Every structure is written in C-alpha cells, then in structure tokens.
Amino acid sequence: MNYKTAGGIFLLAIAMLSCKSDEQPAYTPTSYDLQIPEGFPEMEIPEGNPMTVEGIELGRKLYYDSILDQNQDRACATCHVQQRSFTSGPDVLPHVNLGWTYNWLWKGDVQGSLEDIMEFEVQHFFFTNLDNLKSDTEYPELFKKAFGTDEITYKRIEMALAQFLRTVNSGNSKFDKVQRGEAQFTNQENLGFELFFTERGDCFHCHATAFFTDGLLHNNALDANPDPGHFAISGDSLDYGKFKSPTLRNIEYTAPYMHDGRYATLEEVVDFYSEGLEKSPTVDPLMKQLSKGGVQLTDEEKAALVAFMKTLSDPDFIQNPEFSGIF
Amino acid sequence: MKIVKFFLLIILGASTSCTNNTVQPEETAIELQFLHNVNGDPLELDNIKYTNAVGQTYSIKTVKYFISRVTLHRTDGADITIPDIHYVDIRDDATLTYELSEKIPYGSYSGISFVYGLVPEDNVTGSLGLEIDRLMEWPVPMGGGYHYMKLEGDYNEAGNFFNFHSGSLDGVDYAIHVDLPNSAFDANTSKLNVGLVMEISNWFKNPVDWDFAYWGSGIMGNADAQATVQKNGTDVFSVSFPSSTL
C-alpha cells in the first residue's frame, strides 16, 4: 500500500463517518390508500400534500378542535355537523366530496384546491393563533408524526385539514346502490329519476356529475331583485344574483334550502322550480321555463322528484366513525 | 496509413452527424381561431337584435361546443387526422384559439374537415375529465356522453329562453362531419392561422326554418329536433385564412 492508497482510504472513512453522524433517521409517515366510491372520477391530490394516516388523523383532530379559532370558541365541526352532512344551516355549505370541488362558498369567494379554501378558513375566518397550538401538549408531536417536524405553520394546518377532508366522501346512497345493481328504485323514485335527468324536470344541468352539482355559479331566478351574489366578489354585472349550485347528495339532511335558507322543505324547493321563478336580468338561460314561472310539474311529479332526491341520502356517511369527533 | 484511415473515419462520422442535426423536417403548426357571426357580422351577445326565418327575434347568450378529429387532406390523397377534442366557450377567451397537437408536413392540401361534436368512441361520460363533465355532461338516461353544443338565448322577449342543445340521443349519433368549403391551402410556413367561422343564424335555417315556439325551449330528448339540428348544421361552418407566419 502506498501513501496515496492509504490517504484515499482515510478520506473515505472520514466521509463515511461524517455522513453517518449528520444523517437523521428518515421519517416516513404511513401512506393512506384513499378508496374512491364507484362511479366517482379520480381525485387530484397535490404532489406537495400526499395523504398519510398521520396527516389525516391530525386534520381530523384539528377539525373538531376549537383551538383553531383565535378566541377558541368554535371548531370547524361546530357549524359542520356530521349528522347533517357536515352543515348546520343555510350559510354553511356541507362538507362532502370536497376533494373534487373548485368553487368555494355560496358566492364563489374562493377558487382552487382544498388547501386554498383551508387557507381562507384558517387565516381569514378563524384567524388562528399559532402560539395556541405550539404551546399545546399534544400538537407539536402530532405535527412531527404527520410532517416530520414539530414546527407548526399555517400551511401544515391547512394541509392536514385538506387531507382529512379528502376522506370525507359520500357515495353509498340508495342511488349509488341502484347504479351498482344492489338495489331498485320504487316506481315513484323511478319517475323522479326520469324527471330529474330529462328536460321535463331539468335538474341535471346544474346538479350534474356524480356529485349532483356542476360546482358553478348561476342565477336560478329566486328573486326579481336578487342578492348580488357573485357580483359582490367579481364586480361583473353579469354575475349579479349568481350563487353556487350546491350538491344534492344528502340533501335530505341539509335543510333549510337555498343560500338564505328560505325554504324549510324539499317540497317547497320543488314548488319553487315548478311555478315560483322570478325574472331578473341575469337569470341563467338554463332556467328555460322562466317565462312560464317554472317547469309546471303535477303534484305526482313533485312528489316523485322529492322521493328521488331522498335516494341521495347516505346514512352510512353521517354515521361513519372515521369522520366523527369521537377519537 | 492506419492514421489516415482513422482520421477519415472521424471526418465521415462528423459529417454524417452534422447532416442529421441540420436537416429538420419541414412542418407547419395549425392554429385555429374560433369566430362567431350572425348574418355575416360578429355576434353581439345578450342583445335581442336578430330575426330568424319565421320572424322571431332572438338573442344569443351561450355558445359552448366541441370540435374534434380535425383532418387535413393532402392533394396526394393522404389524410392526416389529429385526434384532438377541443371545447369552445364564447365567454372564455382561452378557448377561442387552439393549436393542433400535431404539426403537418409541408405540402399542398386540398381541404380541411372536422367533426362538430364527438364521434361515438370519444363520447363517453367521464372520459374528458371533471371540468368538462360539469360543463357539458349529457345525462346517462338520455344516452350519456356529452352535449355537442349548448346554444342558448332569448326569443321574442327577455327571459323567454331557448336551449338549443345538441348531442347524441339514446345511442343515435347526431354529430356532423363537416367538410369545410374553400379550405385548400399550401403548408409552407412554420405556422398557419385558420379562422373557423360559425355562422349562428344558419343553425336556424336550411333546410328547416327553425321555429322556437314549435320546437319548445328544450330539445335534448326530441329525436326529430336533434336530426333537424344535424341537417341545419351542415352549412354553419366556414373557413378563413387570416394570415400565416414564417
């Protein structure tokens, strides 16, 4: 062995030792295998926020914890009540199948991903005080498990909430079971199904896709002098009176209805679409029977539409312990 | 001698690689620009200023549609079909120009054709992604797939709406294979702009004068109406070549 060889071995040994001493044990949270209900499209999950068991558990705990509120008065779940498909009143859109949502809130205040709307909720609704979480006895460790660091940031709170909400999916209603060949509609539900998906009832244009919403903003002819709606956000006069189409999944659990909760029952909602439409300049032309006041359904047809909408109820969803606040 | 052969081989190799690097196939990118006219003039949205062949005044508020399978026909008989599907929304500027995903070789072309709507193998619910599903889904109980077009407006008075929605119905395809008249061109530049003009008034005439009151506000489930839309649509599209760039 000459001096060059010996020197090389020495340097290599030093390098190996130094690598070993600097190296932190790699932290790998447990990857979560999201089950998508049959008939639903794939969910786009941001590369920067992969779903993990630890991240979802953290998100769920945060969802039910009033620590997010700067005054610690209320949690997400205070207004988003599982037994009511994660709503509690007209101001609160239900938290269901949000992983496929792009327009947020009734007036379309926010566009983007779940992380984007959680940023709005955490920083501009709850005005979360990070010090409350940092000084908590549990959260630093839970963040470390979820993200490999106990440093608590707004972004990591938002990421954890988004991960949890991507699991909060409803796709096991009677409607879904009929689609899978596991159940059958009654004659009345079947009539409602036909009315819903043809221009006779004409519900499908706005309540489209597997989620029973197009997620878009429309003026649905509620008022002759409508609430400004999305105009308040965009400033575009064409957006006057426009509100987001809500999902009809679990609609039975989410009364009262419309953005201002003016209708207490589904029967009242159907009456409105049948004969209660009001003209205003920005009514969506999809409300094609506006000049007749509505689609003019018979009593039998109205009852059938309500019966069909109730097949979108998913009792498993509102009782699922994985979404509950019981840990 | 061996050294001479060695250098000759290097020079030969170098010259061959230079040839490969410098000779590029001569190809033209095609950019489509979607234009919408009524009676030859650019469409003015939301204004009940137009009159159809049966004397009804009307406005246009919504124009959303698909074109697909654009085909460039070479004079030597070879056709180049681009397997793209493009969605157009007159209120979304980003959809009003579109570069085909494949370039075409330089040469002489006898014309352009395309499919208004979708061919059956492209017309499958869910296949175009959730964003398009939200906008254009056609209900499964009526055959599924997508609306080919949503053309909407008022007739006679504001709030008296028509929904001129077309698509396949119960498995019957009402797409239109459009051979654009006067669409011969020479591809000899790096980019060719092609104006694709929809003359909206032609949906309402030739051969059938469309009566909004007769057909009703919604026509999706009406096979006669869908067949009539298909017939009237054969002369709706034309082409213009506004400019080309080197």
User: What pLDDT sits at residue B152?
Assistant: 98
Give the best-scoring range by mean pLDDT among A19-23, A323-327, B10-14.
Answer: A323-327
> Any residues with CB less than 8 A from the CB of A206 and at least 6 apart, and which?
A213, A214, A216, A218, A220, A245, A284, A286
Please say if the pLDDT value at position A327 is more than 90: no
- Note whether A283 and A146 are within 8 A (CB): no
String of DSSP letters for A203-242: -TTTS-TTTT----EE--S--SS---BTHHHH--GGGTTB
Residue % of chain B over a pLDDT of 70: 89
**The residue type at B75:** T
Counted across chains A and B, CB pairs separated by less than 8 A come out at 67
Please say if the pLDDT value at position A8 is more than 60: no
Residue B1 lies in a domain: no
**The residue type at A207:** H
Q: How confident is the model over A164-185, as a mean pLDDT?
A: 98
The answer to whether the CB atoms of B161 and A285 lie below 8 A apart is yes
* Dist. CA A210–CA A37, nearest whole Å: 10
Which residue in the block uniquely carries the two structure tokens 């030969």?
Answer: B12
Cα separations in angstroms, A74 against A68, A71, A90, A140, A256:
8, 8, 18, 21, 22
User: What pLDDT sits at residue A24?
Assistant: 56
pLDDT in tens, B109-155: 999 999 999 999 999 999 999 999 999 999 999 999 999 999 999 99
- Judged by a CB distance cut-off of 8 A, whether residue A286 touches chain B is yes
pLDDT in tens, B7-60: 444 444 444 444 455 667 799 999 999 999 999 999 999 999 999 999 999 999
Residue B7 lies in a domain: no
Which residue in the block uniquely carries the two structure tokens 């009001």?
Answer: A278
For B214, the domain range is: 30-245
- Judged by a CB distance cut-off of 8 A, whether residue A209 touches chain B is yes
Q: Which structural domains are found in chain A, ordered by start?
A: 53-170 (1.10.760.10), 174-311 (1.10.760.10)
User: What pLDDT sits at residue B2?
Assistant: 47
Q: How confident is the model over A134-144, as a mean pLDDT?
A: 97
Please say if the pLDDT value at position A237 is more than 60: yes
Residue B9 lies in a domain: no
User: What pLDDT sits at residue A319?
Assistant: 97
* Dist. CA A49–CA A147, nearest whole Å: 10
HSE of B101 in the Cβ direction (CA atoms, 13 Å)? 9
Please say if the pLDDT value at position A296 is more than 70: yes
The answer to whether the CB atoms of A285 and B129 lie below 8 A apart is no
Which residue in the block uniquely carries the two structure tokens 């030792």?
Answer: A17
- Judged by a CB distance cut-off of 8 A, whether residue B126 touches chain A is yes
Average pLDDT of chain A? 93
Chain A residue numbers touching B167 (CB-CB < 8 A): none
User: What pLDDT sits at residue A25?
Assistant: 58
Q: How confident is the model over B66-74, as a mean pLDDT?
A: 98
Q: How confident is the model over A49-63, as a mean pLDDT?
A: 98
Pick from A10-14, A20-24, A38-42, B234-238: least confident? A10-14
Please say if the pLDDT value at position A322 is more than 80: yes
Which token pair is B142? 């009526």
* DSSP helix/strand/coil, A321: helix
User: What pLDDT sits at residue B1?
Assistant: 43
Please say if the pLDDT value at position A3 is more than 50: no
Cα separations in angstroms, B69 against A187, B75, B120, B150, B204:
42, 19, 12, 20, 25
Residue B21 lies in a domain: no
Q: How confident is the model over A314-319, as a mean pLDDT?
A: 98
Please say if the pLDDT value at position A158 is more than 80: yes
- Judged by a CB distance cut-off of 8 A, whether residue A291 touches chain B is yes
Task: Flag whether the ipTM exceeds 0.90.
Answer: no
The CA distance from B158 to the nearest CA of chain A, in Å, is: 8
* Dist. CA A305–CA A201, nearest whole Å: 8
pLDDT in tens, A102-113: 999 999 999 999
User: What pLDDT sits at residue A90?
Assistant: 87
Domain count, chain B: 1
pLDDT in tens, A178-210: 999 999 999 999 999 999 999 999 999 999 999
Chain A residue numbers touching B152 (CB-CB < 8 A): 285-286
Pick from A10-14, A29-33, A96-100, A274-278: least confident? A10-14
Please say if the pLDDT value at position A144 is more than 90: yes
The answer to whether the CB atoms of B161 and A288 lie below 8 A apart is yes
- Judged by a CB distance cut-off of 8 A, whether residue A21 touches chain B is no
Q: H or E segment at A154?
A: helix A154-165
Residue B169 lies in a domain: yes
